[in-house]
Structure 1
Amino acid sequence: MDDLPLSELDAFTAIARERSFRAAARKRGVSASSLSDSLRRLEERLGVRLLNRTTRSVTPTEAGQRLLERLAPALGEVASALGQLDSFRDGPSGTLRLNVPTIVARTFLPGIVNRFLTAHPKVRIEVIAEDSFIDVLAAGYDAGIRYDERLERDMIAVPIGPRRQRYVTAASPDYLERRGMPRHPRDLIDHDCIIHRFLSGTSATPWEFDRNGETLMITPTGQVSANAIEIEVGAAVAGLGVMRTFEELLMPEVEAGRLQLILEEWVTEFSGPFLYYASRRHMPAALRAFVDFIKAEPQKGR
């Protein structure tokens, strides 16, 4: 074990995370065959099969999964420690991997990322936007962006983006003319609603309405359910139902007259998102630079 190369452990981690030799090779900038050779040598050294390989899939064995769970944080610490050497160079470098909700990727994050990369030309950023509730660190990300109720308590959280956001309800003028104007959230029980589905959920998420300290929960029903905001907004504009989502996503259609806000006394306001990451001694230089950049940025609604 004394001469076990870190490169072989890193190759195994990359393949196991991506579940693909080709995808891992693209991430590492090497050939798939070189990763395959590294994995073969590692399995021979350990005397244990770590990955099951077929022509269609790559999956960790039980031994491989246990090794991955223990190895990923350790390799992260090694990379972070090496990243500290960037302070002796001209500036931070390396790759910053972020997992963020789609609302964040669509609204304020592009501007922040563009300004950050302009200030730090040696840093690369990989952003994956999804609404699944995953363990971002176990999945190999350096940090994530989430809202209050989704933050793990053992993480460090830094405010990012707008500090207050709102959920609003809207429908097309044509739909409201045909079906009537809802005057109370309970009226939506008799209306077609456009439902946002999270990949991790099999049922519709209840809609929460707030007014003067009163909270109501309504379970929407309707013809359309999707996990893509383009489908949802398009359906609302086409007059297929009522939708409820982040104000930022609906205002362009409202201002253009294609959608109309309703139930405006029942707007739900909540705190904005946070960048979060693990507490550890060595932070990757790219992540440290990003955290410092976020802290220095003026934020709306402080």
Structure 2
Amino acid sequence: MPTPPPLPFDRESLRRELQALDTPELLALGARMRRDPSRLSLYLGILRARPGHKAQLAACLICFDLARLGQASAERDFHALIPTLRGLAGDPLLLTEMIGDDPFLLGLWGACRQAIDADDPRESTAGLEANVPLVGELDLLSDLELDLDLSRLADAARREENGRAFAKLTARQLGYDLENDRMPEWSGMSTSTGREVDALEEYLRQASTYAPSVPLARGLSSVGQLFLASHLRRRSLFGKPNHRRIEALRAGLSALPSDRPDSLATAAGLFEEEGEAVIERFQKVSELLLDYVRFCSIREADPLHPGAVEAYIEADRLPAPLFLAGETRRRR
């Protein structure tokens, strides 16, 4: 059966996705892509740039795979790498971790061991045969399935990276000194001054970029914006609508989730951690949401529909102070 042509791919995009994978994952994918020398060469370049025995073993195996496909440079390189491979082969823990019981990797390693055992160090110009027979090659996955698997792995890596980046962003906003392991000396959710409001608004803007992959960021896209809106004046000094408040209100109501309501509770918990003063101010968000739900109920409107959001903004309602009646610092 003829070998199918390799699937087309954007080399730079693929390189970025592959660089996000751990070395064992990259080797496992490489063992399944032996019919595509261009991808194997890409894998080899990434592995050679990594330190450590894992990357060294993986690079040697990919180099061997390219050599038996007839790539002349890989044949020369592999012959020079045989002493290194012999040393790595003496580490059973390394082999177990990198190869395990994966049938593709077992086949690749078995063929590689045969080549090592057949090597004669006196033959300095000896190369490997391009068609060394495989040991137990199993065609379990198609190239398309491998591409989909690679995409899932890359997505998981991106979510993890986004989670770490968002955690650092939030820690800075809340006043944690990560480098010196110091607890915060101020509240990152305070709105007592114009500077604090500006800082909170900028934090929420940055947090929204992580919303698709980080649940807390997704919740803050709604709850955080509503918190901001409830602490901005409804009118400017000249009696006109405060567009800054309107945009925060629109963003918060539009981001109410339809499938993951727990993200709202997670975001609300962040405010709870900030202490009694912030919790008291957060009650305005509860009042606003109750008023919005009541408005939609009267109108028989879907609270998640954009039309309901715009109708509520146009109505310019003033939520009743259910929790903080008589509180003098309420912004109007």
TM-score by length of 2: 0.23
Task: State the TM-score, normalized to the length of structure 1.
Answer: 0.25
Q: Indicate the structure with greater strand content.
A: 1
* Higher relative contact order (CA closer than 8 Å, sequence separation 6+): 1
| Greater per-residue helix proportion | 2
